[in-house]
Amino acid sequence: MTTALAEAAPPRGGNRLRFLAVGLGALVLLLASIGAAITLGPADVSLVNVRDILLNHLAGAEIPVRVSKEAIVWQDRLPRALVAAACGAGLGLCGLILQSLLRNPLADPYVLGISSGASSGAVVVAILGVGSAGLGVPGGAFVGSLVSFGAVLLIARLAGGGDDKLILAGIAVTQLFSAITSFVIFAFADSDATRGVMFWLLGSLEGVRWNGAALCGLAALAGTVLCLARAHVLDAFAFGDDVAASLGVHVGRERAVLITAAALLTAVMVSVAGAIGFVGLVLPHAARFLAGPLHLRLVPVTALVGAVFMVWVDAVSRIAFSPSPLPIGVSTALVGVPVFIAIMYRRRRTP
Amino acid sequence: MTLEAREVAWDRGGRLVVDGVSLRPNPGETIGLLGPNGSGKSSLIRLLSGIARPTAGVVTLDDRALSAVPRREAARAIATVTQHADTAVELCVRDIVALGRIPHRGAFGGDHRADAEAVAEALERTGLVAKAGESWHRLSGGERQRAHIARALAQRPRELLLDEPTNHLDIRHQLDLLRLVADLPVTTVVALHDLNLAAMFCDSVLILKGGKAIAAGTPAEVLTPALIAEVYEVDAVVNMDESSGCPQIAFTPRARAAQSR
């Protein structure tokens, strides 16, 4: 993948080799990070155990390993690390799409009201029990995020359309659904339920399994492929819709496809892992710092950097306060905000 | 042939911003669109570029309705430089010029050699070779305009549409930029405010007022004191410059207050 990308990118001096090195390095780093994340933790699992378990499952080996260790690594830590990687990549890409299309460096996957809708959906299922049999909490979150995104689109359209209206509608809907969420919690939840839901509102990878990993992984891969195929379209929006149109881009169609894709991708991630804040905003900026402004490089670098970042953030939040894990959204903000400020500072000095 | 407007009109929310204008440039010539603020110059450029569709009449490219031509194909024939195109993205001049190659890309990438050649030639023509690695945010107003024109040239268009490209430029940069545009081997339609610049650099001019075409022809034919008084509501003296053969327009103060009451 990376070779084809470097080949297709316009020449920028000797940067091609550097880009290739960054891309390959990030891929290796991602695999190493996942390896580290599934080895680290309070349970007594050695690196040899992890190797044996992986060989058993991936290469068909039959090395005897204790069932409890096997369950921890293969049923708990690995799917969890993969969900973390997929969320990092997916939310980063959503941020990238929205920052390009809305031409706003502050756009993130949640400006469209998606996270607050997901939270409301989850809370309605978890606390009120509406549809809890058929949907479950993740299903409720997915439905909620689609409802809120639909409301944002409808309001923006009724207000006459345009990016500014979309952002304003997103803010309004976010506030509305946050209020609904708070209302349901205050009116109907007991303290246990509140604690469970709070975890979910701040993002949590507790108890994710392979079905969640498969769903998030497929969504993140599909998002990456779409963004790579649309890399030039994302570039073309740099100077706004008119310039994009004059470069042969079907502005309305591409905008609809990309924004809907970003909304669906976010909805999937939120439905599995809760509302993980700040990654979608920060990751594209960090990736720009490494890969430059052109999306053919920016897309894979954002996905890889996002994946590595989230795997480590999740591993640390899982281990540092063990046995009670820190909600991952708290960690992402704690790490993300200083990184964001550092990038702002560096960019001011070297424009 | 090529790009042509036939009796186009654009009803923009109940206001007719372009009203039955026809434009038929000869290949290779530079046409100036002139007229006061709000006369429909920018709107006509938008219709010609295909960014907006006329509500009546038709814009054609090689005798096909522009709206029926696939956008990418249109973008390989027509390049547009709009006003106020700014970005928050940290692009360098070469990146911006390379945007012009987007319409030439296939589904699986483009012809890299042709891309590199077109970008190099566009940088050369616009005098931006030394600035190729410079960030957009460090460019002067004149350099930004030239970067956009270089991006348009990298599209290798047959038709170039420019909406007031000399806005906010000092006089030397205005002259340099229009010299560059007039010398290009492509058909150019350029909206201008300055009548003297139009007289110097345009092969022909089209005068707009209230969305309607008032007059068309060579600058010497069209830019008369009577027409300037009618369109711009100012008094002017027009002299023929012997050496260049261009009309030169000097404005004279008029006692407007007495008339407008």
**Partner residue facing B103 (CB), from A239, A248, A293:** A248
Query: Quick one: pLDDT at residue B108?
Result: 59
Q: Is A236 contained in some domain?
A: yes
- The per-residue pLDDT for A7 is 38
Q: What percentage of chain A reaches a pLDDT higher than 70?
A: 94
The span from the CA of A315 to the CA of A299, in Å, is: 24
Number of domains in chain A: 1
Count of A-B CB contacts under 8 Å: 84
3-class DSSP state of B10: strand
What is A25-81 written as a DSSP string?
HHHHHHHHHHHHHHH-SSS---HHHHHHHHHHHHS-------HHHHIIIIIIIHHHH
| Closest by Cβ to A293, choosing from B89, B103, B133 | B89
Contact between B220 and B242 under an 8 Å Cβ cutoff? The reply is no
d(CA A351, CA B135): 8
- Within a domain: A5: no
Q: Which amino acid is at B8?
A: V
Give the closest residue to A170 by CA, choosing from A156, A160, A184, A157: A156
Using CA atoms, how far apart are residues A39 and A81, in angstroms rounded to an integer? 11
Q: Pick A246's closest partner by Cβ from B75, B90, B109.
A: B75
pLDDT tens for each residue of B14-54: 889 999 999 999 888 999 999 999 899 999 999 999 999 99
The answer to the question of residue A6 being in a domain is no
Evaluated on CA atoms A2, A79, A338, A119, the torsion sign reads positive
Nearest-neighbour CA in chain B from A105: distance (Å): 8
User: Taking CB atoms and an 8 Å cutoff, what residues of chain A touch B50?
Assistant: 245
ipTM above 0.95, yes or no: no
The answer as to whether A4 is a domain residue is no
Mutate to test the interface with B, among A99, A233, A246 (most CBs of B within 10 A): A246
- Give the range of the structural domain holding residue A345, as residue numbers without chain letter: 25-349
Instruction: Check residue A11 and give its pLDDT.
Output: 43
Would residue A299 count as lying in a domain? yes
Residues of A in contact with B118 (CB under 8 A): none
In a domain, A3, yes or no: no
Nearest to B198 by CA among B172, B227, B220, B226: B220
Give the residue among A130, A84, A85, A90 at the shortest CA–CA distance from A114: A90
Residue A43 lies in a domain: yes
Q: What is the CATH number of the domain that holds A164?
A: 1.10.3470.10
Mutation target vs A (from B87, B94, B137, B139; most A CBs, 10 A cutoff): B87
A103 CB neighbours in chain B (<8 A) are 87-88
Q: Do A293 and B91 make contact, defined as CB atoms within 8 angstroms?
A: yes
- For chain B, the structural domain boundaries read 3-260
Cβ within 8 Å, pair A232-B105? yes
Cβ contacts (< 8 Å) between A245 and chain B: which residues? Answer: 49-51, 71
- Crossing angle of helices A279-291 and A15-39, in 10° steps, is 140
**pLDDT per residue as tens digits for the range B219-230:** 999 999 999 999
Q: With respect to residue A279, please indicate whether it lies within any of the assigned structural domains.
A: yes
Sheet holding B212-217, edge to edge: B78-81, B159-163, B187-191, B30-34, B204-209, B212-217
What is the structure's pLDDT at B5?
Answer: 93
Contact between A174 and A110 under an 8 Å Cβ cutoff? The reply is yes
With CB atoms and an 8 Å threshold, state whether A242 touches B51: yes
Question: Residue type at A221?
Answer: L
Residues of chain B with pLDDT under 70: 1, 106-110, 254-261
| B119: contact with A, CB 8 A cutoff | yes
Q: Which of the residues in chain A have pLDDT under 70?
A: 1-15, 347-351
- What pLDDT is recorded for position B91? 93
Domain B3-260: which topology? Rossmann fold (3.40.50)
